[in-house]
Structures are given as C-alpha cells and as structure tokens.
Structure 1
C-alpha cells in the first residue's frame, strides 16, 4: 500500500476562512493533513515574522478528519516556522497555502502572506504552492476550483519541484465551464498606484486609509495578468533567490575598488 504524503496547510486569511477550509477538503483526498494557520486575518503581511512579541499556538478541532490543527497568533511565515521546527515530527512532503480570498498575481506576490508562507516552506526545502482565487468575497465559489487545485498539487507531488522554486497559482473569477485551461506564465510587470485617504478622528488627530488602483503596464501574452483576463488559471514559478543576476556584469563596471 502506497504511503500517503504528509501535507502542511496554511494561509493568511485565518484558520476559519472558507478558502482554507476548501483547500483542506481537497488535501484530505490526497494525503494526511496538518493545519497550522493564523488565528485571525493576516493579509498583506508579506514575509513578516514575529520577533518583538510572544507567539501562541493552540491545538483546535474544526475538522475531525484532520490529524492535527493549530491556530497561531502570528503571521503566515510564523506558522510555517512553528510547524517545521516545533509541531511536526517530520518534514512535510508538500506545503499548500490558501486558498486566498483575492488575487496574488503580478507584484502582489511581494505583499502576499499566502505566498510568503509558501516561500518560507520553499526556503526550508519543502515543495510549496500558493493558491489564490481572484474573488475577495468571503462567500467566493471555491467549490468550482477544487478539481484544478487537486490536479496541480498531485502534479507537484509526482514530478517534484525545481530547486529554489515555489508555485504561485491564481484562479480567475469565472465559472468552471468558462475556464480555458492552465497556463504556465511569467509575472506581469504591474504595480499599485497608492493614494492615502487623509481623515481626522473625533479627537482631532489625523489618520490615513491606504487606497489606490492596480495598473498593468505589460502587454505580453505570456503573463499571469493576461492569462487571468483571458480565462486561464495562471501558474508562475517563483524563486526566492532575489539576486538580479543580469545586473552583476553591469555593476562590475562601476570600479568600486578604485
């Protein structure tokens, strides 16, 4: 009998979010599931770690069919670090993060707690995938994407992951029947144009709400933004070596040691 893989599940929307509960349902059909996730929403925390406060981690029971579930007071990255170093008896075969309520395509990967959890797992040498659905609604239709989540996860387990790479998977907000397929992409050149809504509270103190709009400046048809806009599920291989290798030769012309 083939041994079932050990799967670590985490997210950034909180352990009770519909997205992670849907992801857990899929992973239970594949392997033995351990959940370590934030006890409250941690969206936009990126790769933040807790170094100036205590961390609490409580064993809970939301799903009787899950071997172990832990609710953590820290960030998504804290969750992965605690799982690997304290809670798990052995390294998981794969870590899946999500399913995020909202897009993590293009530059959003930098800010994403969902993807940072996956990247942290990758740094630990664990194959990892971050899943996101381009629908910010708490009642988003995660049921319609379960088959593709399963397909991608099984493919990663079967084929292995390239060294130093994790996958950033985004699903368009369209019906299951309208999906045209899965497309391997590059990250689009896009950015946020931020604006701050300046206000004054009843005590006369000024405060700000961050707002803005997402601008894509990339016309390529090989990007995640193009894929999502055209009915495809986008899969972007993400590396956590941030070295701009193409710039090394240029920097070596600066004569910095003269």
Structure 2
C-alpha cells in the first residue's frame, strides 16, 4: 500500500468540525489514499492568510480512524505549512485538501477565508491543492450533507491525483470548490470564475453586557505577529469602547458564469484561482479515465 498517494487535510473550522471529519472519513473509506491531517485545534474562521511568526505552535496528536492526525494551535496556513514541511510527517503529501468548510466561499469571501488560505499556502509551495466549502443553510442542512459533499468531490480528487501520477497535471494548481445546499440533488460540476459577491459589514457600538454570544468572525488581515484581530473580552475598563461587526446587507454582482451564481443554481462549482481554466474545461467536459474508472468502481 506504499504506492498510494498521500493527501494532507486541513481546515479553518477546527479539527473536530464535522466537515473535516466527514471528508477524512470518506477519503479513508476508499482505501486509495494515505491520509494526513494537520488542522487548527479550535475554530479559525475568516483569518485569511494570517500566520504565526514569533511564537511556537503547540501540536498534539489526536485520533481519527484511518488517518495520522495532529491538532495545532496555529492558523490554517500554519497547519498546511507545518504539514508539508517534513517536520511533522516523514513525507510530503501529493495533494492538500482544505475543508469541508461550513458555509460557501464565493466571490470576495475567498480573500477572507481561512479554508481557502489552507489551500493557498500549498499553492505558494508549488503543491497541488483544493479548498472545499459547503453552502450550509440553517434549518435546511444537516451534518450528513458533509458526507454527501465529500463523496461528490471524490471524482475530482481522484482525477487530480491520476494526473499528478502521470505528470500531466498543471503546476501550481489551486482550486476552490463550492457545493450547493441541496448537495444530494446537485446539477453536476460547473467550471466558474470568481465573482464579486460579498457581505457588506459595518460596526455597532455595544456594552459589555450586550456582547455575549459568538462574534461574527475573526478577521486577521496581516500575515505577521503584529496583525490586528477582533477579540472578545468579558471585562473592560470604564473608558474602553466596544464595537461589534454586523452584516449590513449583501452585494451580488451581475456577471455571468460566476461561482456565486452557479452554486445558488445547484451546481458544484469549480473555480480556478490560478491558470487552470483550459485543463479544467477539458477534464469536466471530457472526463479522463480516472473519473470513468472511479465511477465504475463505486
């Protein structure tokens, strides 16, 4: 089984998140891959490409059936960097998969996303990578949808690894996949481009007794130890002012063939964040033997 390709899995929702757990479980169940996991030990949503610079990471091995897994105190980019460094695992993965995120990552949200950053870090190091997000909607979605989402991505993952083995896969590959809410009845794959959709956010002043509950997100925009980030405090000095983010609305651009458009229409969107459009178009419209053989095997 030594010739099996190796996949490194990370995410931004934390190592215990159901999306990552479902993805690893599905990958392991195929018995086709060696699965490594290096993921944050707690939620790190919307930290973008923040990295830990001055302080060491705390890393602990955890049990996930069929995989070699570690939880780290760092960000998704940290986890990918550590996972492919050979400092943690004896070999470098053939493919890095980041996800499955709770919530879609379309349009400009790709910039904020820690999930996408986990894949982007591999891209920076010349490794093939994929970020995967599921369009979770409260009241409609269930944890079982993560398993369906992972299974829906297997043909693409299999095809990528086959092309890597044949030395035919484009260098510096970086894909962003979004799965629709009704993933069980998805309309198939759709090659898309990154749109400009984004939530418009503002700020609201709050008092200390109003700030209970989870903040919208933690958004760290600088990749150094001096990066500014939202923080929550339970006690403040009298002269401190507290402000909390709030969603003011959403902007959806009217361009066609965008990720946001097609995921809302029920497609699994595959968005190249590097120069892969030509290869992907050929792959999705003229499936290679890896996809055909995978479907027959299932």
Do they fold alike, i.e. is TM over 0.5? yes
- SS at 2:80 equivalent: helix
Distance 1:128 1:164 in 2: 8
Question: 1:26 deviation in Å?
Answer: 2.0
Q: 1:199 maps to which residue?
A: 206
1:121-140 map, 5 Å:
121-135=122-136, 139-140=142-143
1:1-258 map, 5 Å:
3-28=3-28, 29=30, 30-61=32-63, 63-66=64-67, 68-85=68-85, 86-135=87-136, 139-140=142-143, 141-160=145-164, 161-177=169-185, 179-201=186-208, 204=238, 205-212=240-247, 213-220=249-256, 222-239=257-274
Question: 1:3 deviation in Å?
Answer: 1.7
Unaligned residue ranges in structure 2 (runs of 5+): 210-235, 276-298
CA RMSD of aligned residues (A): 1.9
* Contact preservation (8 Å) 2:4, 2:33: yes
Distance 1:144 1:6 in 2: 22
For residues 4-52 of structure 1, what are the alpha-carbon distances to aligned partners after superposition, in whole Å with 9 as ceiling and x for unaligned?
1011011000000000001101221230111100000000011100013
* Contact preservation (8 Å) 1:26, 1:149: no
* Contact preservation (8 Å) 2:11, 2:40: yes
- SS at 1:42 equivalent: coil
- SS at 1:239 equivalent: coil
Question: 1:175 deviation in Å?
Answer: 4.5
- SS at 1:44 equivalent: coil
Q: 1:248 maps to which residue?
A: none
Question: 1:156 deviation in Å?
Answer: 1.2
Distance 2:37 2:183 in 1: 28
TM-score by structure 2 length?
A: 0.74
Number of equivalences: 236
* Contact preservation (8 Å) 1:14, 1:42: yes
Question: 1:169 deviation in Å?
Answer: 0.1
Distance 1:175 1:27 in 2: 18
* Contact preservation (8 Å) 2:62, 2:71: yes
Distance 1:134 1:194, change over 3 A: same
Distance 1:211 1:194, change over 3 A: same
Question: 1:186 deviation in Å?
Answer: 0.3
Identify, as 1 or 2, the structure richer in strand: 1
* Contact preservation (8 Å) 2:25, 2:65: no
* Contact preservation (8 Å) 1:18, 1:139: no
Q: 2:286 maps to which residue?
A: none
For residues 93-148 of structure 1, what are the alpha-carbon distances to aligned partners after superposition, in whole Å with 9 as ceiling and x for unaligned?
11111000011111111111111010111111211100100106594421222321
Unaligned residue ranges in structure 1 (runs of 5+): 241-258
Question: 1:216 deviation in Å?
Answer: 0.9
Question: 1:60 deviation in Å?
Answer: 1.6
